[in-house]
């Protein structure tokens, strides 16, 4: 019977009988003897330090779609762009420098976001309501202490909408 472990650093769940450490962040499992709550409290500074170290290794990117008319057909000239080389896990919104034009015919903004950790890429699909009446929007990303990401969109009047939070390391 397998023992499912949840990593104290990144929150990833894995088979603890098969793996001595987390396959995502490589944090070694720590067994706490005695009072679990007291032991966990003593470990908190180490865990927080490891969480920030992991966040510093993340690179966040997004596919930006740009279409051009080529004769009579629309051609995708989009590209994946790096948004951030380092992030924080304080749920603070990190804004993309560029302002994007809105597409008034879309009800939902559907973003293809990637998270690069060392040699592994996690793909996430983040959706939020479109701000159809805005001239332009600005896109931001926030990551919380549990490595859940949300996309935040701000219009030219500073109105905000945001996606649901998605756990980063479930994407593949």
27 lies in the same domain as 75: no
Residue 26 near residue 4 (C-beta atoms within 8 A)? no
112 lies in the same domain as 166: yes
163 lies in the same domain as 136: yes
Residues with Cβ < 8 Å from 155, sequence gap 6 or more? Answer: 102, 131, 133, 134, 136, 137
83 lies in the same domain as 161: yes
Kindly report each contact of residues 149-155 with a partner whose C-beta sits within 8 Å and lies 24 or more positions away, as own/partner.
149/113, 149/115, 149/124, 150/126, 151/109, 151/111, 151/113, 151/126, 152/93, 152/128, 153/109, 153/128, 154/95, 155/102, 155/131
Read off the CATH number of the domain in which 145 is found: 2.60.34
| Residue that terminates a domain, selected from 32, 56, 80 | 56
User: What pLDDT was estimated at residue 70?
Assistant: 63
How do the pLDDT tens digits run along the chain, 172 residues long? 568 888 999 999 988 777 788 999 999 888 778 888 898 899 999 999 999 999 999 999 887 766 555 666 656 666 677 777 777 888 999 888 888 777 777 788 888 899 999 999 999 999 998 888 888 899 999 999 999 999 999 998 999 999 999 999 986 5
User: What pLDDT was estimated at residue 97?
Assistant: 82
Total of domains in the chain: 2
User: What pLDDT was estimated at residue 74?
Assistant: 58
46 lies in the same domain as 68: no
Nearest to 159 by CA among 136, 143, 142, 141: 136
Range of the domain at 136: 58-170
Measure the CA–CA gap between 94 and 91, rounded to whole angstroms.
9
43 lies in the same domain as 93: no
151 lies in the same domain as 113: yes
38 lies in the same domain as 111: no
Measure the CA–CA gap between 58 and 130, rounded to whole angstroms.
27
101 lies in the same domain as 29: no
40 lies in the same domain as 83: no
């Amino acid at each position: 019977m397998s023992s499912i472990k949840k990593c104290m650093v990144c929150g990833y769940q894995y088979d603890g009988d098969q793996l001595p450490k987390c396959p995502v962040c490589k944090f070694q499992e720590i067994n706490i003897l005695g009072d679990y709550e007291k032991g966990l409290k003593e470990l908190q500074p180490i865990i927080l330090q490891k969480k920030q170290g992991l966040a510093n290794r993340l690179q966040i990117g997004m596919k930006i779609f740009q279409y051009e008319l080529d004769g009579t057909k629309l051609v995708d000239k989009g590209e994946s762009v790096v948004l951030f080389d380092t992030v924080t896990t304080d749920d603070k919104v990190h804004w993309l420098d560029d302002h994007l034009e809105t597409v008034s015919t879309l009800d939902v903004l559907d973003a293809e976001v990637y998270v690069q950790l060392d040699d592994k890429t996690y793909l996430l699909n983040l959706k939020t309501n479109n701000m159809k009446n805005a001239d332009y929007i600005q896109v931001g990303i926030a990551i919380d202490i549990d490595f859940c990401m949300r996309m935040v969109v701000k219009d030219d009047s500073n109105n905000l909408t945001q996606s649901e939070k998605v756990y980063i390391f479930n994407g593949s």
